[in-house]
Structure 1
Amino acid sequence: TTVDPKDVIAFINASPNRGLFILVALYSLKAITFVIPIALLFIASGAFLPLFQAIVLTYALIAIEFTLTFVIGRRLGQEKVSEILSKNKKTRKLLSMNLEEGFLMTLMLRVVPNPSVDFISLLLSTTNVTYRTFISASLIGISPSLLTYIFIGEAIWDPLSTAYIIPFIIRVILSISTLFYYRKSPRFEKFRNN
């Protein structure tokens, strides 16, 4: 048997706290397992919660997740974090990058499509970036993805609607323009060449 998305929504909406509980559980699981794609959680927030509630809750949950992973990374230490990151081909390159510009690099690592927001948090936990810089740059940097994916989630049951297509196009344009800026800006030359 297949699962009808309308049945899932009806199940979640049957209780006002059920959607909240499910999202909190998923974010908590993601913070320690690193396996749930962040885009999926953002889309789920938009699909299962009223828009304003989805935005506020998602910012709160992603801040908690960033904080948990950052604290875990600080507790594990640079050697253990390097060991974890070196197991993945895509994240191995992150280890050799120079992250001396705390706020700007944190911001760019959040905006540029990357392997995992959790791996970025772990990596940044081993640098001298302060928690305040880390969390503020992370929340600002993740905002374009967070907001566009929530809007996509809100309209996910009607993917041919403009409410779905416009945020999707904005997401694509943001990704391409950020990558273009990253690849062309002299400011990031050292970062690119590592």
Structure 2
Amino acid sequence: MAAAFILFEYRLGMTRLYSHPQAHGLWYLGVSYGLTLLLQDAYFYFTHRLFHHPILFPWFHQGHHRARYHNPWTSFAFDPLEAIVQALFLVGIIFTIPIHFITLIAVLATMTIWAVVNHLGLNYLPTSFPHHWLGKWVIGPVHHSIHHRNYKVHYGLYFTFWDKLLKTQDPDYEKQLETHLVHEVK
């Protein structure tokens, strides 16, 4: 439904979507991709955290948490209201910043792949990655697995920035990460 709305608005010339890569320069494809991921991560963090409020949880997010030990299919388990709220981000972004169709598809692909990987339950990232300077800022399967066991921590989508800044990062995350990696290597 959101895709149909986006295409309808594009045909009316009402969006900032564009189809010619040179319209803003090739460099802008990467910039708009990165910017969209950062904005989507912020949007997701705040809506996800809001959905965990006891009044909203049964209506917006309980379906996703039915699986305490999740699997790749869990990444697609959205309550209808949550799906609508999350779709509103992409609807909003096409009216906000110039974005190429390929960039929009890349964001959708990244979101889907990231969600599936983070619901695998196992850490398929290299063992050294979470300890790398970049790895400390990126959410991986272990980070998200902790969220499924403890609803009061780890609300981000791609990055740990908001969890760290707003103190929703599990204080024992590093220890749990070490324990998980030791079990994984054995």
Do both share a fold (TM > 0.5)?
A: no
Higher helix share: 1
Query: What TM-score, normalized by structure 1, do the two folds share?
Result: 0.31
